[in-house]
A = this chain, B = another copy of it.
Amino acid sequence: MLIKQYKEQLKAHNLKLTDKRLKLIEIFTRYDKYLSAKELQQQLVSVYPGISYDTIYRNLHTLTDIGVLEQTTLDGEMNYKISCTDDHHHHFICERCGETQVITYCPVEKWEDELAGVQLNSHKVELYGYCVECR
């Protein structure tokens, strides 16, 4: 997706186009994989020496809320990646390099059948292993 479209996504939510936000989005589009707050901080300090974790975490939440990012917990840390624009999907995540691959097959209906009576709010499907390069 083009940076321009992210800018409009921010504007549509009355959010300011700050340097830090745009830089964050740029980093996420450059690495199309899950990144931790620490990894982002390391990328950001070179450009914004005094950037605080508060800024990073706040923007990660904001960008997740408006759908620019998606999040998952890996090794006890929250990680974020640029959100795919496609339909419902899940991910395979390489345990070595962090690369992700989209998985389209998702049998929610089958699970709904199995769980007759309960109210399903959300679900998480994540596959882990080594990608073609890392195996």
Contacts and interface: CB of A to CB of B under 8 A. Distances in A.
Interface of A: 73, 76, 78, 92, 94-95, 101, 103-105, 107, 110-111, 114-115, 117-132, 135
Given A76-B78, A124-B124, A125-B125, A130 B118 contact: yes
Given A73-B76, A76-B73, A111-B105, A121 B129 contact: yes
A114 B103 contact: yes
B135 A115 contact: no
A127 B132 CA distance: 29
A129 B120 contact: yes
Nearest to A73: B73
Contacts of A129: 115, 118-122
